[in-house]
Structure 1
């Protein structure tokens, strides 16, 4: 969370509008409904994200990844350079036992970030470069 705050301040210092979200849970998913990273947001934050997503075209992403204690930690910065708007999404997942999900993501050639509320409404971000989101070594196999 400290990394997210520092990154958000960097964007704000450059004059960008920044939305920081605080997922309650995050997990890799591979089902008929969703394949990618699923993060659950509190209702008010989801509503803010939904409003921002309706006004912006997020065409760029920065991904910061760290691996420690058997987990993959991500800070995903969805960016709309034209409107100078960024959405920061911290997430984590346990890659242990997730090889089939990682394989499904790699085979699809897309990494989808599902930011959702508990009633399964969601805002999604789709990326065609999957490597920055996957555990080291698994992305390039």
Structure 2
């Protein structure tokens, strides 16, 4: 991703370029885990949105049915107790590659996501004040698998992080 995109490049093209970089990075890191003998599941969300409602507050990613079913099978027998978060930003989007890990079973799930921090500011404020980041991996039927993290800092753009 370029720090200084061409001025005639639309935000949509920039977002697609940034997203493609996240997907490529995910594939490379997943291969590294597989080379070490881990089970690695790469997810490919169709959409990612910040949510703040009575039902859910956090980041909601919509998965294709087969990927959701694979995730559902993995989470039945794994305890994802560790997470790595890779971040990138361009002029309008904040990209995440969330790596949920179960070291005991050597299983890892890769969840790429994105959001617009400008339009999602009130939702980000709620997440920050709750001191908890929730990742909802769902399918169209609204069934979801939830990952909860007590440290919100890795999931926020630096401008929103506190000095604590």
> Same fold, TM exceeding 0.5?
yes
2:85 to 40, 63, 88: 63
Q: 2:105 is paired with a residue of what secondary structure?
A: coil
Where does structure 1 lack aligned partners over 5 or more consecutive residues?
none
What's 2:121 paired with?
99
Cα distance, 1:65 vs structure 2: 0.5
1:1-141 matches, within 5 Å, as: 1-140=23-162
Please list every run of at least 4 consecutive aligned residues from structure 1 whose deviation after the TM superposition is greater than 4 angstroms. none
CA distance in 1, matches of 2:117, 2:156: 9
CA distance in 2, matches of 1:25, 1:116: 10
Higher relative contact order (CA 8 A, sep 6+): 1
CA distance in 2, matches of 1:120, 1:7: 29
- Select the structure of larger CA radius of gyration: 2
The CA deviation string for residues 28-68 of structure 1, in whole angstroms up to 9 with x for no partner, is 11111100000000000000000000110000000000011
CA distance in 2, matches of 1:73, 1:80: 23
Give the helix-richer structure, 1 or 2.
2
Where does structure 2 lack aligned partners over 5 or more consecutive residues?
1-22
Q: 1:137 is paired with a residue of what secondary structure?
A: helix
What's 2:14 paired with?
none
CA distance in 2, matches of 1:76, 1:33: 22
RMSD (CA atoms): 0.8
Give the strand-richer structure, 1 or 2.
1
What's 2:8 paired with?
none
